[in-house]
Structure formats: C-alpha cells, structure tokens
Structure 1
C-alpha cells in the first residue's frame, strides 16, 4: 500500500483499548501511515478526552473497564451529541452483538483478531466518508446557514457579513454544534502556523457575535475557562 496515499487522508484518531499490547500495535501502525493518534485505556477516560477535543475517527473496544464500549458509544451519541465515525473492536462475532453496536450508533465493526492493514483501511474509509459529508455545500445549525462554496452566511433569510477570520471561527464552531470547543482548538483553526499573542481570539468572538446579533442570532455561548459553542436548538436547558 502506498504510504503517501494514506497520508493524504490522515486523520486524528482516538484508540480506546485496555489491552496495552493491542493498543500499542494499533497506535504505531496508524502513526506509521500518517495519522495522529491518541489513546485511552478505559471508557471514562475516552469520554473525558472526547468532551474536550475533536477527533476524526474513534476506534473503540467493547470490553473496557469502568465503562464498556457500548456505554461509551451511547454517551458519545447521546450526552456529547458527537457524529464522529466509530469503528468497534471486539472478540464477539455474534450477530446480536453486532446489531447492538450498530443500534447504539457504530459505523463499522471489526472482530478480533484483526489485520492492522484492514483496520487502517477501514479508518481511512470512515474518515474519507465523514470528510466528504463535512465538505458538502452547506453547514446548517438552527437558523444559521454557511454555504461553503460561496462563503455566504445567513440567519434565516438575513445575510451576515463576516471578515475572513470570524468566518473561519464560525465554520469551526458549526462543524461541532452543541459541543464546547476549547480555546486551543479554535486558535489552531484560525492561526495554524502563527499562534496569536494576547487575546486575539476573544476579539474574533466579539466580531462574530456582533455580526450574528445584527441578523437576530444570539447562539454563541461562552463557557468560562473552557471555550465556546453554538446552541443547536435541541440543547435548551442543557447544563
């Protein structure tokens, strides 16, 4: 397999696996093929990591300590409201076990023992599919619509005019609606090669809020000391 081809589709992958030998082999193989990989050894640690940062694909073992993989998947789709693709790893090959995972929101399933090459192919396919969905013509969150082709923003029928960085900021928030996106992630999205000094991000938040408010939208929420999020309309009353 051409390593360069895989590198073109590199993803940020979270591997959740309590067997350290398996976890190490998976991490090393995926990193060898150009992916950035984090690892969690139990379900609670995985959810904590997913609550504070964005990943592109989750490779999730079912038999985990503290919280098993199916419970992690339920909370990922429910409480955290994340649409990240999930590849389940398990020694259980019964149809009922597979059905339970898919019903809980899994995107793919791989039975142990598995080929690392096959796992990498499945990760690549999940990431490509999700990327194509994200890079469609429009992102929509409640009354907000961002046309990714024309770069036009509307609140309902009202146009919103944004400077380039405020537009980048809005797009990053719209890719993770309902989730609190940490300051570090937003700064990396806006200034990938030149981290800003001072409080440049807060200035962009102010510009974005002011422009959206003029069009009648007030859904950018600050979580002090953590980050910012967009209300989805489905999370009213959420803590």
Structure 2
C-alpha cells in the first residue's frame, strides 16, 4: 500500500497509445494519485505549464514533439526539477544513458509491469519529495508552501486553522479521523490551541466555504468517531 504522504500527488502521463495510457491511469488512481493525461508532446507542454504536475511519466516516441525534447525542455528551458520517469520501447544501454543524461530520474522499458511502474513512481517521489509543492485530491488543490487552497481552480479563502484542517484531510483521504487525531496532526508536541469540541466549529466553517463552490459534502461526520474526507 502506498505511504500516506504520497496520496494526492499529481502524475502527468504522456503516452500516445490510449490503451497503455488508460492502463497506467487505472493503476495510478487505484493508488490514490491524481492523473493528468497528454496524448502528444505539444499537449504535454501545455499541461506541464498549466497544471504543474508532481511527476512526469513520459513516453519517448511521441507525435509532434519527442519525449527527449520534452525532457530537455523541462530541464533546460523551464529549469524545472520535476521528477521524470521515461517509459519507452528504446531498450538499449545507449538509449538509457542518453535518457539519464537528459535528466530522467528513472527509465522503464516497454513491455512493462504496471505494478512495477507504480513501485518505481513511489520510489522516485520518495527520493524527490521536496520537489513537489502541492497536493491534489478530488478537485481540491493545496499548496502548503504558498498557503493556497483551491477547488477546481477557484481559490478558497480560508483562515490559517481552516487551511491546516483541509491540508490534514487531504493527507488522509477516505479515512475516519477522530478530533484527537486531527489535532495531533495539526499541532506538534501536543501544543494544542483549541479543544476537541472547538474543532467542530472550524470544520463547520470550512464546510460552509467549500459549499460556496460545490453542493457536495466532502467532509462527512461519522457519528461517534469523527470526520472523513471523501472523494467523488
């Protein structure tokens, strides 16, 4: 099972074969990743600039712009350290060396095992955890470093505590969290500024701000246990 701190990471899958792209997407979504798809090199450049994914799974033999050119563009033009896993039928040692020289973090040869690809993605994300500055889940995006929270691209105006609450929920999606657990996640060294019951008020306010954007109740009350942040 994937470690909690990887849940919500956004993966851009650049692959022109729809069957392979769909297969990878299914496996990624099962593991809790948010998946963006690109069908060619031009589409990939647009998605990278617009959506700033946490990791790139990149086929090399692409229409319009090759995977090698995309990798070079990310590293040299964007000067981005976005993790890149090359996924390709180019299996020679020379191809692999060229891929790593271009800036790839890993190199997976087709045909490949989807389960192994998931492990490799997880391993790369663990090694490069400091390169991803956002977390995404079911339409929500949170940028802890910038203190920004968005729902489907629209900014949520949250207090500091509400922001911490949403961040905690997004790090533990589909898990029932007690009030005590939530406070322990938010405050270090047990330095709690609010009581267990006060948290209900903050969650009520957070729910209200979310409902200004959508009627869906993403934060569910689990009677006698706590709260659960759910997906679609």
- Please state which band the TM-score falls in when normalised by the shorter chain: 0.5 to 0.7
RMSD (Å) for aligned C-alpha atoms: 3.0
| Matching residue of 2:79 | 81
| Matching residue of 1:9 | 6
SS in 2 for 1:78: helix
| Matching residue of 2:155 | 187
| Matching residue of 1:33 | 31
- Distance, in Å, in 2 between the alignment partners of 1:108 and 1:34 is 21
SS in 1 for 2:98: helix
TM-score by length of 2: 0.58
Native 8 Å contact 1:57 1:85 kept in 2: yes
Native 8 Å contact 2:54 2:131 kept in 1: no
The 1:24/1:169 distance shift into structure 2, 3 A limit, reads: closer
1:172 to 143, 146, 164: 146
| Matching residue of 2:175 | none
Native 8 Å contact 1:169 1:189 kept in 2: no
TM-score by length of 1: 0.57
Please report how far the alpha carbon of residue 187 of structure 1 lies from its aligned counterpart in structure 2 after TM superposition: 3.3
2:16 to 15, 18, 25: 18
- Aligned pair count reads 154
| Matching residue of 2:110 | 112
> Unpaired segments of 5 or more residues in structure 2?
134-141, 167-205, 213-232
How far does the alpha carbon of each residue in 1:5-61 deviate from its partner, in whole angstroms, 9 at most, with x for none?
355522210000001100000001110111110100101110111111221110000
SS in 2 for 1:14: strand
The 1:22/1:188 distance shift into structure 2, 3 A limit, reads: farther
Native 8 Å contact 2:61 2:67 kept in 1: yes
- Distance, in Å, in 1 between the alignment partners of 2:108 and 2:44 is 19
> Unpaired segments of 5 or more residues in structure 1?
136-167, 174-181, 198-239
